[in-house]
């Protein structure tokens, strides 16, 4: 069974540009979560999607947005990139049932020059 897949693996942008990160969940999982992990820091929750709808959002500015497609894949968009957006962006998926474990993809490392 394929795990959570993320693309691209690495992404290099400059300040002010826009970045799009993609995630495909484990087959059968309907929930997708996005996290930001800056170097040496903990996981910061960004967004949670299920059945195409945003279920919850972390404490991030509106330039962080995303969506979930009918096939449950998801993309994260970051507009007006800033230097401090440089981080590992992790996607996780789970069944929607409350309390189900999340399984993570390998992440996209976003570097802002």
**Residues within the interface to another protein (CB under 8 A):** 33, 41-43, 45, 48, 55-56, 88, 90, 98-107
Instruction: For another protein, give the closer residue by CB, 28 or 101.
Output: 101
Strands 10-13 and 108-112: parallel
For the bound state, the minimum distance from the C-beta of residue 49 to another protein, rounded and expressed in Å, comes to 11
In a 13 Å sphere around the CA of 96, the CA atoms on its Cβ side amount to 11
For the bound state, the minimum distance from the C-beta of residue 4 to another protein, rounded and expressed in Å, comes to 9
Q: What is the rounded distance in angstroms from the CA atom of residue 93 to the CA atom of residue 1? A: 14
Q: Residue 19's closest CA among 105, 78, 60, 73? A: 78
Instruction: For another protein, give the closer residue by CB, 45 or 79.
Output: 45
Place of tokens 């930001």: 36
Instruction: For another protein, give the closer residue by CB, 45 or 60.
Output: 45
For the bound state, the minimum distance from the C-beta of residue 112 to another protein, rounded and expressed in Å, comes to 18
């Amino acid at each position: 069974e394929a795990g959570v897949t993320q693309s691209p693996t690495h992404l290099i942008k400059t300040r002010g540009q826009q970045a799009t990160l993609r995630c495909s969940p484990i087959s059968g999982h309907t929930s997708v979560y996005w996290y930001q992990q800056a170097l040496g820091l903990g996981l910061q929750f960004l967004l949670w999607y299920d059945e195409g709808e945003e279920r919850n959002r972390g404490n991030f500015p509106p330039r962080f947005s995303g969506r979930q497609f009918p096939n449950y894949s998801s993309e994260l968009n970051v507009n007006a990139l800033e230097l401090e957006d440089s981080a590992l962006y992790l996607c996780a998926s789970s069944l929607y049932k409350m309390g189900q474990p999340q399984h993570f993809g390998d992440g996209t490392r976003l570097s802002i020059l």
